[in-house]
Structure 1
Amino acid sequence: MRTIEYIEDFTSWAEEFNFYIPVNIRFSETDMYGHMNNVSPFIYFEEARIAYLQSLGLFNDFSNKEEGIIVADLQCNYIKQLFFGDEVQVHVKTKEVGNSSFDIHYMVTKGNFDVVLTARGRLVYIDANLGKSKPLTEDMKEKLLGRTFSKTQVKPTP
């Protein structure tokens, strides 16, 4: 596998994932040859990110317009092609937690743990009224770092 700048040791990086969701590549996400469109993974990342954060008991109140998280950046590395009908697992983990932001990493696998995509993104906790970042609470940091889990925590293993 080629070198990816946010992954120092691929084996240890991959072993740190303990949450994933299954995704089926839909026809509407492909071109006329059945090849997955290059924007589709970002939809899968969003779906997996929401499920992951909810499993941690974080950011579940979508009616709260006062505060929330936004995606500050998101990058994807395409390792292998995907096609209509492929079934994949979108793995998610917290990689780094700062004062008001945190890095999420993604690994998409197919079949018997065949890595097809990797990705990372920075999320920022914001005060929507001020339009500025807001410090994460200690409880949020603990949950993101995996030191505490809510009762709804789901930790499927591949």
Structure 2
Amino acid sequence: MTEPVVINASPLILLSRGDHLGLLQAFASEVWVPTPVAREIRQRGPTDITARALSTTDWLRVHPELPIPESIARRRLGAGESATLAIALEHRLTAIIDDLAGRRCAEGLGLSLRGTLGIVLAAKRRGLIPAARPILADLIAGGLYLSERVLDEALRRVDE
């Protein structure tokens, strides 16, 4: 059994939109969703695919908010990023964040970090998906931003 990971809203939204939420289970049998992230997702309404996934996926667990340490608060991140990083820091868990400012903060704190792109690449390396390219194309169509250079380099890493 792997330890939990903690996720911010955008990776959760992108993966559920593309019906790729199951890729998260390549990293953890349990994914913690901080309360502010859950609140943001639920505001999208009960018919939203991510809000439904949050309500029906037993391995997505809403985790109570923790006090935000000064090392995170001074970065002035959004509530979701801050809560994600606070939980990751407190429990020494991997944070799944796409936002650049949040990623820089996580790196500065020495946290283990993944993004949506890294999840897809790891799933390919572990043989959970036959190819990363179609999933990444789907995620990009759903709103994931990757420069062509980053996309090409990522696909090279998995021999595509």
Structure 2 length normalisation: TM-score? 0.28
Higher RCO (CA 8 Å, separation ≥ 6 residues): 1
Higher helix share: 2
* Pair member with larger Rg: 1
TM-score, with structure 1 as normaliser: 0.28
